Amino acid sequence: MRLSHAWLALQAIAGREIAKFVRQGGRFASALVRPLLWLVVFAAGFQNVFGVSIIPPYDTYIPYQVYIVPGLLGMVLLFNGMQSSLAMVYDREMGMMRLLLTAPLPRSFLLFAKLLAGTLLSVLQAYVFLVIAWLFDVEVPWAGWLTALPVIVLAGMMLGALGLLLSVQVRQLENFAGTMNFVIFPMFFVSPALYPLWKLEESGAAVVHAVAQWNPFTHAVEAIRFALYGQLAATSLAIVAGCLAVFFTLAVRGYDPQRGMLRRTGGKPA
């Protein structure tokens, strides 16, 4: 595979994804409405009730609406990752994935290019949300906008790879909504997106706390939260990177009709 061929393929795939996104204005609006509702409505009801400590040693308290910004950024990345996988299922039904994956380039690179294109859209939406949050006087350190960028990219890729893996399992477009709800809501609510994990442990919810520790979304949110305040959550970053590698490897295997899930389930090659 020549570098020039790979670059042309990446441009073509990314350009198609961006063009689709521009034509689907409702997709952009829906990606921002959900976190904005949590920020404006839900957080407004609790910001005067209690503060939440942000990082160890948990002795500095911040307004609740500031605390949940990293969780809502994670929500943007999570929903866009699932939307990208929905587009993969649709493209497979329409035959576009068959054309793409028969290109004379490695299958893993083609899927990686799709993942990069989806991540680019996720990151753009995340920063638009940060701008809107700033307009609502939610103060996130300006330096954090820069230090959080690589972490947001990594988290977006991990959640996009999870969506890619789900698109292997979902055989029909009609079944995807149920699958999304089964994945999105448990991942989001059993995480520190809305409340700190130490508060769960402190309140005696030991089972929920234990499950949250195994949730990849938990570590994505924690890594973003620390990065926004100029700190490094090394363990969370390592877990996010590891999950990205596992999800993407399984997705590539699943899209290979010679050895993947598509062959074992009797489905047609992508």
| Non-local CB neighbours of 183 within 8 Å, separated by 6+ positions | 82, 162, 166
User: Do the Cβ atoms of 223 and 241 come closer than 8 Å?
Assistant: no
Question: What whole-number distance in Å separates Cα of residue 237 and Cα of residue 221?
Answer: 10
| Domain ranges (residues) in the chain | 3-264
Mean pLDDT of 139-160: 92
What is the DSSP secondary structure assignment for residue 61, as one 8-state letter? Answer: E
Q: What distance in Å separates the CA atoms of residue 218 and residue 187, rounded to the nearest whole number?
A: 8
- The whole-chain average pLDDT of the chain stands at 78
Question: In this model, does residue 148 exceed pLDDT 50?
Answer: yes
Q: What is the pLDDT of residue 123?
A: 92
> In this structure, what token pair is assigned to residue 32?
């921002």
Is residue 121 pLDDT above 50, yes or no? Answer: yes
Quote the distance between the C-alpha of residue 117 and its chain's center: 13
pLDDT in tens, 185-235: 888 888 888 877 777 777 777 788 888 889 999 999 999 999 998 888 999
Nearest 5 degrees, angle CA 142-CA 132-CA 184? Answer: 100
Q: Which two tokens stand for residue 182?
A: 């089964």
Which of 44-58, 79-93, 240-254 reaches the highest mean pLDDT? 240-254
pLDDT value of residue 89: 72
pTM of the model: 0.83
Q: How far apart are CA 193 and CA 67, in angstroms?
A: 8
Q: Which two tokens stand for residue 171?
A: 């055989």
Q: Which of 125-134, 151-160, 217-226 has the lowest mean pLDDT?
A: 125-134
Higher pLDDT, 105 or 261: 105
Other CB atoms within a 10 A radius of the CB of residue 165 amount to 21
Greater confidence (180 vs 235) lies with 235
What does the pLDDT read at residue 101?
66
Res. 265: pLDDT tops 70: no
Residue 52: pLDDT above 70? no
